[in-house]
Amino acid sequence: MRGFLAPAALAMNVIDSALFAREQRELSGTLAVSSLTRLHDQLADQSGSVEWELQGGVDKIERPWLSLALKGQLRLVCQRCLKPMDWPFATEALLTQFSDEAKLDEAEEQDEELEGMLVDPALDVEALIEEEVILAVPFAPMHDHCGGTEGATEAGKKPNPFAVLAGLKTRKAE
Ligand SMILES: [Zn+2]
């Protein structure tokens, strides 16, 4: 990937959320972690990408929904030793759409499992992805064993010393 923003990276995915659902559309792509700007404060560095898959559909009682599956890896900062830690993740969210806030609140009260969103005729898919990644990131990420070979989840992978330095610089700047 190039460091400079290529036109493709700037192209926005904007959908009509209700129409997307009714037409049972599907959309997928890969988003560079560097473009998830609201996450940057929590990252040791901006390497990596997030694969995403968005699907639309309508439930039994005619409510449109969006399903968003995400898979990727972030480099978070361990809150115990303040060193970078690889954090692979995979999440899936099912968002039921409502035309107004009152209906959304009512439905969420009746069904604790339900995650609602308001119908959006110009939904920015990348903003939605960013929101879901933020929700998935642990509040206080920590290594299983600090000071050991980094990335217990990825055996054999040595930390990149430059990335470690970048992580330290980020912490100092705060
Ligand atoms: Zn640690």
Contacts of 117 (CB under 8 A, 6+ apart): 17, 66, 95, 96, 97, 98, 104
Nearest in space to 97 (alpha carbons), one of 54, 136, 130, 135 = 54
Residue-wise pLDDT tens digits, 36-49 = 999 999 999 999 99
pLDDT score, position 166: 55
Domain map (residue ranges) of the chain? 7-173
**How many angstroms is it from 150 CA to the middle of ligand 1?**
8
CA dist., res. 126 & res. 132, Å (int)? 10
Residue-wise pLDDT tens digits, 62-90 = 999 999 999 999 999 999 999 999 999 99
**How many angstroms is it from 135 CA to the middle of ligand 1?**
21
**How many angstroms is it from 38 CA to the middle of ligand 1?**
23
pLDDT score, position 174: 41
**How many angstroms is it from 165 CA to the middle of ligand 1?**
15
What's this model's pTM, rounded to 2 decimal places?
Answer: 0.76
